[in-house]
Chains A and B, each alone.
Chain A
Amino acid sequence: MNKISRRKLIYGGVAAAAGVGGLAVADRMAKRYGLIPPDGKGVYGPGETLTYACQRLLTVHMPVREFPRSMISKNPFANEISPRNDELKRLEAGGFRDWRLVVDGTVAHPLVLSLADLKTLPVHSQITEVACEEGWSYIAEWIGTPLSGVLREAGVLPQTRYVVYDALEKNGWESIDISEAMHPYTLLTMGMNDGDLPVPFGGPLRLRVPRQLGYKSVKFVIHITATDDIKKFGKGLGSVDPEYGYSWYAGI
């Protein structure tokens, strides 16, 4: 049997106590400052929480990587994974004049906006990269209006912690935290590369979240809900992704 010196034992004890104490403090701080993601439980919870907490502290006020016009991809990949549903086809046939975006939840005045309404709001464009979790990517210019402006227009209430967004597609809902929602680059996108946003790329309306992976940039957005309680939505994990093992927070 190895001899363990008294000094080693004391050092070990102090280190273990400091570790446990540190973890307890970290846990309380994390809860207080909202550093635990909705899917921060289970086997992969510690990893998700560490990533989300670090990225929030590190990147919350950072912009996003933008690229020169010359780097816009000539052949972007639309990644159409499900066939267009009938409702989308019907709206497309009408030139999307009947497209409506509902904004509700913890807001002072819920809104129902047409695309024409959205186009009266300040225009913002960004040349940013779509990076898919599978590994591929492309760069495009995205034109639209920041989500923050729409949320302010609706009078988003101070207790709001998450913004849930819903697609015309079944099960196409997602959510982001309020700091990501208010980020100037989080864009309600209606145009791409100097034209209307094509349907394969999510037209007429896609929420671009360029600081996270592609699957957070939901296509065909019809409904935005501000909330102070993400547990009320779906299985309470923030989106459907965690049900398939995917992270809710996709900034990595």
Chain B
Amino acid sequence: MVRATHWLTFVAFIALVVTGGELVISHPRFYWGEVGNVNTKPLFVIPIPSSRDTVPTGYSYVMPDQNGWSRSLHFEAAWVCVLTGLVYGIYGLLSGHFWKNLLPERRDWNWRAYRERMAQYLRRRPPGQAEESSYNVLQRTAYVVVIFILFPLVIWTGLAMSPAFTAAFPWTAELLGGRQSARTIHFFVSWLLLLFLIVHVAMVTMSGFWRRVRSMITGNLRSSEEGR
């Protein structure tokens, strides 16, 4: 279950990142508060050309409009992400996966454990035998932050941009400081998630990319070793 939801989320996330990036191109300006448009002062501007000629970018050309399919795919992938997350969340709670594998172990609830683990990474010491089949405190913390903070936040900020959803639940936009704040937070949280993905893949690569990928598909670390 963990493996199936992992790969579904992976595919959906890639689709969300690509289409999300495409959507930013139609208005590469970000604001804080409720409203923002080309007549208001932006919080920051991404120095890229836009797919709309109404946006002053300083570039003399306009990119092709890809928002149609990008939007449709973005929301469909978001549904895959949310439904998969729901299944994963229920499974994680019922099976004890969260307590057993993700929540940092009780003995690691102190700064020393984090420091030591960090030092081990920085000195490039090879991991102990226990880490072959379990997560250390840094990994657990990263997963907890991604699963219980960043993903919920990116879904919330996404919904806070929906005119119908906020009609039903105005506080979802108001708590964030407004619609444009939600968009800006959505943008940064997406970057954090992408950063996690990059580090995650880098770590997997260091511990043997194909062996790890195969084990995440088959669920069996040892048999894939023997298979070589």
A residues lining the B interface (CB < 8 Å): 2, 43-44, 46-48, 50-51, 55, 58-59, 62-65, 67, 71, 73, 75-77, 79, 81, 129, 131-139, 210-213, 241, 244-247, 250-252
| Cβ contacts under 8 Å, A75 to chain B | 39-40
- A44–B40 CA distance with the chains assembled, in angstroms: 34
- A251–B219 CA distance with the chains assembled, in angstroms: 41
- Which of A71, A75, A134 neighbours the largest number of chain B CB atoms within 10 Å of its CB? A134
Task: Point out the residue from B54, B69, B162, B183 that lies within 8 Å of A252, measured CB to CB.
Answer: B162
- A64–B169 CA distance with the chains assembled, in angstroms: 9
Contact A59/B165 with A135-B27, A245-B72 known, Cβ cut-off 8 Å? yes
B residues lining the A interface (CB < 8 Å): 23-24, 26-27, 29, 34-40, 52, 54, 67-73, 75-79, 161-168, 170, 173, 179-180, 183, 218-220
| Cβ contacts under 8 Å, B168 to chain A | 58-59, 62
5 extra A-B contacts, CB within 8 A, seeds A2-B220, A129-B35, A245-B68? A62-B168, A71-B35, A75-B40, A135-B29, A139-B34
Complex: chain B residue closest to A44, CB-CB: B72
| Cβ contacts under 8 Å, A71 to chain B | 34-35
Say whether A51 contacts B34, CB under 8 Å.
no
Which 3 pairs of residues, A with B, have the shortest CB-CB distance?
A: A245-B68, A47-B76, A251-B164
Say whether B75 contacts A65, CB under 8 Å.
no
Task: Point out the residue from B37, B52, B69, B71 that lies within 8 Å of A76, measured CB to CB.
Answer: B37
24 residue pairs A–B, Cβ–Cβ below 8 Å:
A44-B72, A48-B72, A48-B75, A58-B168, A59-B167, A65-B163, A75-B40, A131-B161, A133-B67, A134-B23, A135-B27, A135-B183, A137-B34, A139-B34, A244-B68, A245-B67, A245-B70, A246-B67, A246-B68, A247-B71, A247-B75, A250-B163, A251-B162, A252-B75
**Shortest Cβ distance from residue B179 to the other chain A in the assembled complex, whole angstroms:** 6
Say whether B23 contacts A135, CB under 8 Å.
yes
Task: Point out the residue from B37, B72, B79, B219 that lies within 8 Å of A136, measured CB to CB.
Answer: B37
Task: Point out the residue from B23, B77, B163 that lies within 8 Å of A210, measured CB to CB.
Answer: B163
Complex: chain A residue closest to B30, CB-CB: A135
Say whether B79 contacts A51, CB under 8 Å.
yes
- A71–B174 CA distance with the chains assembled, in angstroms: 13
| Cβ contacts under 8 Å, B164 to chain A | 55, 58-59, 62, 211-212, 251-252
Say whether B34 contacts A46, CB under 8 Å.
no
- A41–B180 CA distance with the chains assembled, in angstroms: 32
**Shortest Cβ distance from residue A94 to the other chain B in the assembled complex, whole angstroms:** 29
| Cβ contacts under 8 Å, B162 to chain A | 55, 251-252
Task: Point out the residue from A2, A46, A137, A241 that lies within 8 Å of B35, measured CB to CB.
Answer: A137
- A44–B71 CA distance with the chains assembled, in angstroms: 10
| Cβ contacts under 8 Å, B54 to chain A | 77, 79, 81
Say whether B218 contacts A134, CB under 8 Å.
no
- A251–B164 CA distance with the chains assembled, in angstroms: 5
Say whether B72 contacts A247, CB under 8 Å.
yes
